[in-house]
Chain A
Amino acid sequence: MMQPFLELLTRDVRLALREGGAIGTALGFYLIVVAIMPLGLGPDLKLLSRIAPGILWVALLLSALLSADRIFHADHEDGTLEALSLGPLPLELIAAAKALAHWLTTALPLALMAPLLGLMLNLEIAAYPPLVVTMLVGTPAVSFVSSIGAALTLGLRRGGLLLSLLVLPLFIPVLVFGVGAISAIVAGPGGFSSPLAILAAFSVASVVLAPLATAAALRIHLQ
């Protein structure tokens, strides 16, 4: 069971690296969105540093969604998904492998880029460690929840837009607790650990439960 899972995962990572487009687009989008924020809000450094965690999180969610509709799209079009579904791996684990590949190739690079973009928003020094920690903890939820939307909108034209409508509301807990944990460190009061624990719980729950929903949606499509 493990070998086909790893095989699928490495293939997806290799495809993403070789095609390059998805990672580049997401990172570029993230950079642009964060870069134009100060232009819109004015050069008030205090304001910027206060809202920086929120901007970094919201922009990360949007950037991750950009490539989310591709999680299953290509495999569906070229018949790979059909052949995968007849293989030794249950559809739930196929969904998990593909969501994990999305996390590795999109969400993780975005999370690692966030501290760099924090510089542009005058993010306080104390906020960097919690920013990185919350993003590393929270982004698996982003990828796995996106995979549900990707499976549901498979085969639809303009599926990407519908995907955003379906999935963005589900990101609210990630956003609230991710930003909450950073603010607790910077501005207080309140602890860092409790929002982080809830964020981690949400992430773990998505990693476990989202593949079930994704596989159910894929089954409908394969019919």
Chain B
Amino acid sequence: MNLALVSVGFVLYSKQLSALRDQNIAPHPSPQSQHLRPTMQLIVDELVVRRGGREVIDGLSLRLSGGEGLLLIGPNGAGKTTLIRAIAGLLRPDLGSVRLEGVEEPEDVGPHCHLIGHQNGIKSTLTVAENLRFWARFLGNDASGLAAALERLGLDDIDDLPAAYLSAGLKRRLGLARLLVAERPIWLLDEPTVSLDAASTKVLAEIVAEHIASGGMAIAATHIPLGIESMRELKLGPVVT
């Protein structure tokens, strides 16, 4: 009850803030405070996604609030990637909807999330630091967290190396570093541990756990358990033929 009152109060406060901002009285809130709203909710409602005539996701509903994590598990072809891409808005659902509540514009999930897909989005002719600096500035207008992100993922020693010379695991780490340089409330991680070594997997788990603890959301599809207790599990069904 108390919590509900607090969150209602927060919504009212943020509405007031936006009204003030429209009149150019209040300063712009920083991206961080705008994104990490405790009242934010990701709602997937009766989602149906067909791929090649087959219903890969069939009537899935889920609700995720800030500070919650979800682990998608299931065999190959169970629809983990499909679900993640549908949440990001890259796949249009055939039925049902994915929406965010408790945010101001834009209502789409896309601009509020980080999607780490199967590819890393790295340019091989740019150096490690240049690659990450581009994402920091493009996504968040701010490259101040660059050094910390590189250090966190153990890339600080090779930051002036062209990305072409990185191993698969190092490339993956560079791809994951994007999570740290721009603030997004929703993290969608599709097989984030692929080609990572044990130590890096642990670092990744820590980063995700910190993100959840600070009020963010994370949805991860993985075959290797990340070992984060606060994450719920969602079993996606086997392939129906």
Name A residues whose Cβ lies closer than 8 Å to a Cβ of B. 3-4, 7-8, 11, 14-15, 18-19, 74, 77-80, 82-89, 222-223
Contact = CB atoms under 8 A, between A and B. Distances in A.
8 contacts: A4-B138, A4-B139, A8-B138, A11-B126, A11-B134, A80-B123, A83-B117, A86-B113
A97 B126 CA distance: 19
Nearest to B123: A15
Contacts of B138: 4, 7-8, 11, 84, 87-89
Contacts of B120: 78-79
B137 A14 contact: no
B119 A78 contact: yes
B110 A78 contact: no
Contact of A15 (B91, B114, B126, B178): B126
B106 to A, nearest CB: 9
Interface string B67-108: 000000000000000000000111110000000000000000
B90 A78 contact: no
Given A3-B141, A4-B141, A7-B138, A86 B88 contact: yes
A209 to B, nearest CB: 24
Contact size class for B?
A: 20 to 34
Interface in B158-183: 178
A79 B124 CA distance: 13
Nearest to A222: B90
B230 interface: no
Nearest to A84: B138
B174 to A, nearest CB: 12
Contacts of A88: 111, 138-139
A87 B121 contact: no
B115 interface: yes
Contacts of A7: 134, 137-138
Nearest to B137: A7
Interface in B26-76: none
Nearest to A79: B119
A78 B166 CA distance: 14
Given A4-B138, A7-B134, A87-B138, 10 more contacts: A18-B126, A79-B121, A80-B121, A80-B123, A82-B117, A83-B121, A85-B90, A86-B111, A89-B138, A223-B90
Interface string B121-135: 111011000000011
Contacts of A84: 138
A36 B125 CA distance: 34
B202 interface: no
B77 to A, nearest CB: 19
B232 interface: no
A216 B91 CA distance: 14
Contact of A78 (B89, B121, B137, B178): B121
Contacts of B126: 11, 14-15, 18
B118 interface: yes
Contact of B92 (A4, A11, A74, A223): A223
The residue in B91, B126, B137 that gathers the most chain A C-beta atoms within 10 A of its C-beta is: B137
A74 B126 CA distance: 13
B197 to A, nearest CB: 21
Contacts of A18: 125-126
Given A4-B138, A223-B90, A223-B92, A83 B123 contact: no
B130 to A, nearest CB: 8
Contacts of A78: 119-123
A82 B126 CA distance: 19
Contacts of A223: 90-92
B186 to A, nearest CB: 10
Nearest to A10: B134
Contacts of B121: 78-80, 82-83
B141 A15 contact: no
Most chain B Cβ neighbours within 10 Å, of A4, A18, A19, A86: A86
Nearest to B110: A86
Nearest to A82: B117
B39 to A, nearest CB: 22
